[in-house]
């Protein structure tokens, strides 16, 4: 077993340990499915981390949710 972030055995070990910590009973098939998705997520993150950013790159806008409506829209339409 190699100790790399994309090693399937390492990912499955992590999933099993996290499941035990959270008291989630996972079958071997469920561990395999979660491991596949976690490996995909790690690959996506690695792709994003590989993009070089410069000081002049504009950051994303800060998320601000819309104001909570004071009335139910369904009732306001009546």
Task: Report the candidate in 15, 21, 20, 18 with the shortest Cα–Cα distance to residue 35.
Answer: 15
Q: Please say whether the beta carbons of 8 and 39 come within 8 A.
A: yes
Q: Tell me: pLDDT of 74 over 90.
A: no
Write down the pLDDT at residue 26: 97
pLDDT tens for 13-70 read: 999 999 999 999 999 999 999 999 999 999 999 998 999 988 788 777 888 888 887 7
- Could you state, in order of their start, the residue ranges of all structural domains in the chain? 1-49
């Amino acid at each position: 077993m190699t100790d790399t972030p994309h090693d399937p055995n390492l990912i499955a070990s992590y999933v099993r340990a996290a499941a035990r910590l959270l008291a989630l009973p996972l079958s071997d098939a469920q561990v395999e499915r979660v491991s596949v998705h976690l490996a995909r997520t790690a690959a996506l993150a690695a792709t994003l981390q590989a993009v070089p950013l410069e000081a002049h790159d504009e950051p994303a806008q800060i998320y601000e949710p819309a104001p909570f409506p004071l009335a139910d829209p369904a009732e306001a339409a009546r």
